[in-house]
Chains A and B, each alone.
Chain A
Amino acid sequence: MSSERERREILIATIADLLDGISHVAVGASSPIPAAGAMLLRARNARDGKAPVRISILGSQQHNFFTNGGIELFDCAAQGRVDAFFLGGGQIDGQGNINLVGTGDYPRTGVRWPGSFGSAYLYHLIPRVILFREEHSPRVFVPKVDFVSARAITPEVRRRGGPYALLTNMALFDFDREAGGFALRSVHPPFTPADIRENTGFAYEEPEVVRETPRPDTATLALLRGRILDELAETYPAFARTMKQAA
């Protein structure tokens, strides 16, 4: 079994790969792994002389260039100036709909989560939304969410935004906006495609040969364990500390 640190490092490196080619990525509240992935892409592009990457981390002073208050991220997304964002969900269904509100009958939901945040809006407007949810289980990945905080596809309205991929502790899926569903892209070691089938409550496409998610290379790990954790500490001190301690 891979260690907790290795697990997180694969996720962070996978996120950096998923973001490749973007120029502005925004990261929401309480998202240390996505933030680390965005920072890794930025550091790697800078190292390799590639196009610079802008990162906006909500709630951060240092990693935030907005000057027009809380509304600016949302305005920026509406103007098409945010290329990528992350959303999670207490439940995510096979159609890519996400539930950040709770299970059971609204409003007195059996389980209550924090709330929809900006999801209902940003899902429509940001082209590359990466769904990120560490827990990979049938209670999270359900056939149909109990409450749609944000809908993945709305044929009745034109939109540029929507899901691009789904990343979990066990696997990486692509989202096909035409078909309106997920396809398994790769499985993180040590898991197998059978583990994914067993722990996913919705139907998805599975290729005949399923790749293993690549482990980060030595140079990537050096960046990640050094510069990235230092950058991360301002916004996510507890997370950065745990990762450092594991080193």
Chain B
Amino acid sequence: MTEIVALEALAARVAPGQSLAIPVDSSGVAMAATAALLEAGIRDLRLICVPISGLQADLLIGAGAIASLETSAVSLGEAGGAPRFTAGVKSGAFTLRDSTCPAIYAGLLAAQKGVPFMPIAGIIGSDLLGVRPDWQVIDSPVGEARKVVVVPAISPDVALFHAPEADRAGNVRIGRHRELANLAYAAKRTLVTVERIVDRNLLESEDSAAGVLPSLYVDAIAIAARGAWPLALWDEYPADEAEIARYAAMARSEEGFRAYLSTFLSHRKQVA
């Protein structure tokens, strides 16, 4: 059964050393839970960005919370480059596993289907193949004779995201953000924060059920109002551009980042 817990209790379910999968900014990013993780002093995460990340990854990197990073990109979008990511790559602060977006989805798909790898089109000729020895180019064993890249299954220990609402049974509305379902199918555990818990059954009608991740895949839910702030949450609120720009400017230096982090954490506490 899906448990409904407090935000701190949800964050406590992520242990140091685990692999943590997080979605792209537009999907619904659990920023309040990220603050709770940082507050709890999380360390040595193996972060997997599905398929890219921005502020969330940069905060975790800057706080020294990650040991390795698998991603297709880290960027603050219109606010520019991700400063702690850039600095961390230069100083070798974490093990870097550069990827390309569809390869991350393919890895999740392999885990979703319980197979060890997934073939994927393209990629041949890219230097990514050289820096990802776990990717292979094989001769297709069936069908048309051609070279094809295979990537290993990605089965994250924990998936974490934020959504508008869940019902009392733990069904979560994800709209058309099916990547959140792909994340949950592949992950060993899925933790979700929501704006609110609703009394109606989200599986009640076909219309509603089509946009829902069933509670089968959801281990724990916590309420976090404005839980994606300063990032956007679809259908709920836009990104706080000024705040993200403020982060981009402050995080250019280590001291600036520390100052930002401390205000960010205290702000989150006030909201909670």
Contacts and interface: CB of A to CB of B under 8 A. Distances in A.
Nearest to B27: A70
Given A120-B126, A124-B122, A157-B146, A68 B52 contact: no
Contacts of B72: 115-118
Contacts, number: 159
Contact of B176 (A69, A119, A150, A161): A69
A145 B103 CA distance: 22
A232 to B, nearest CB: 12
A110 B86 CA distance: 10
Contacts of A157: 124-125, 146-147
Interface stretch (B6-14, B77-85, B201-209): B77-85
Interface stretch (B32-40, B90-98, B218-226, B260-268): B90-98
B146 A114 contact: no
30 contacts: A61-B234, A68-B176, A69-B181, A69-B182, A70-B24, A70-B51, A70-B179, A70-B182, A74-B105, A106-B131, A107-B92, A108-B91, A109-B90, A110-B90, A112-B89, A113-B81, A114-B73, A114-B81, A115-B75, A116-B98, A117-B72, A117-B73, A118-B72, A121-B101, A121-B103, A124-B121, A125-B122, A149-B126, A151-B125, A154-B125
A70 B122 contact: no
Contacts of B147: 156-157
A148 B72 CA distance: 14
Contact of A101 (B52, B98, B179): B98
B120 interface: yes
Interface residues of A, number: 54
A122 B101 CA distance: 10
B178 interface: yes
A202 interface: no
A102 interface: yes
A148 B127 CA distance: 5
A144 B89 CA distance: 22
Contacts of B125: 148, 150-151, 153-154, 157
A148 B130 CA distance: 10
B121 A117 contact: no
A110 B125 CA distance: 23
Contact of A150 (B105, B126, B177): B126
Interface string B138-169: 00000000110000000000000000000000
A157 B103 CA distance: 18
B48 interface: no
Q: Which 4 A-B pairs have the closest CB atoms?
A: A69-B178, A151-B125, A115-B73, A124-B122
Interface stretch (A1-9, A163-171, A233-241): A233-241
Nearest to A99: B127
Contacts of A109: 89-90
A155 to B, nearest CB: 10
A68 B102 CA distance: 14
Given A150-B126, A156-B147, A108 B77 contact: no
Contacts of A150: 125-126
B21 interface: no
Contacts of B100: 116-121, 149
A108 B92 contact: yes
Given A29-B77, A121-B102, A107 B96 contact: yes
A239 B71 contact: no
Contacts of A238: 78, 241
